[in-house]
Amino acid sequence: MAGDEYGTVDDGPDYTKRTTILYVVAGIIVVVALWWMFSSMDYVAQAPRSEWAYEMVQLEDANAEGYTGQDVRLAIIDTGIDPDHPSLEDANIVEWLDLVNGRTVPYDDDGHGTAMASIIAGNDPIKGGAEDVDLIIVKVLDDMGESTDSMVADGIMFCLDPNGDGEYSDRADVISMSLGGHMSYIGAIIGTDTKAAVEMAASFGVLMVAAAGNDGESDDGDVASPGWFPDVICVGAVDEDGTIGGFSSRGRNIFKVDPNKKPEVVAPGVGVISAWKNERYVTASGTSQATALVSACLAVMLSAVPELKHTGPSGGTDDVVALVKTKLMETSMPQAEQDTPHDNYYGYGLIQTMDLIDALKAEV
């Protein structure tokens, strides 16, 4: 649809093929490579944002109430950010770390991180759902969109203490991770660097969001890591009609209990328009886009319910993560084709920002 109206550029790369690199340690297979979560994309010559996507998750309604992510610190762990893109020139980047090349000035040599940042915190023409957040940008993915478990873990740890003073008072309120790698049950049991970092972040009341993955019907039967972990909100992707994207990975929920069954929620992730590096725009599909939208929803929620931030009277512990996940389970909207109360593709349903805000306000 966007391509027909605005004109597609046919030199868009094929980002549908990413391979997992596996490591054998003492006979146990663990993940060492992760990648970001696009299923397909096309460049578009010029484009506004996909209004329907923001409306579906009630971000439009929340923004109209004055909730725009103000005074919320949101971290994006990805490929970086192009701060000179017209849609991101006014973004408030408060912290930056490059774990790939060690550069001190924000940049994006891939484009994926720029896309996610525009969905969350962009300005015209790609106006983000939480445009007033304070951004912590951590580059862990290289120009091929690949990273490692240990690097992602280091990225999460940076988000807990950006200034390195050991007090954690400047930590992120939300961490958005539109990335993932395959996780074996053995690897989950013995633990990984990312698992340890996730557990520490949750203990501080940080809300973490990660992509379910784009393996679809041919996947390994489970969502990607770090979305696999119980403390992380894992996100699948639906189209404009609320139908699951054919690429969106399903969860395997043996031994998992509510509200931690995977994925937890879905959000629009099919044909979503975003910024790209070098002043370009794309229309793309993947659980990445859905993850960015859910991250924006949570940032907006925290601007409406600041009591749940780590600086608030009800924040700063893993009780916040449990409460938010419970209310997500209770307020997300079941879709026509999903099983209830939980579906291995749709989770508990489509996230509804205002309904979540109202439910949480009643609890604090």
The catalytic site residues sit at 78, 112, 288
293: enclosing H helix or E strand: helix 287-304
Beta bridge partners of 97: 138
* The two structure tokens encoding residue 363: 């609890």
Written as one letter, the residue type at 300 is V
Residue 204, CA atoms < 13 Å, CB-side half-sphere: 23
Cα(229)–Cα(289) distance, integer angstroms? 20
DSSP 350: B
* 8 Å CB contact between 204 and 310: yes
What the block records as the tokens of 135 is 């951004």
Cα dist from 22 to 28, 163, 212, whole Å: 10, 33, 19
Distance CA 310, CA 362 (A): 18
Question: For 84, phi and psi rounded to 5 degrees?
Answer: -95, 0
Q: Give the amino acid at 360.
A: L
H or E stretch at 146: strand 146-147
Rounded to 5 degrees, φ, ψ at 316 are: 90, 5
Report CA dihedral (129, 153, 222, 53) to the nearest 10 degrees.
Answer: 10
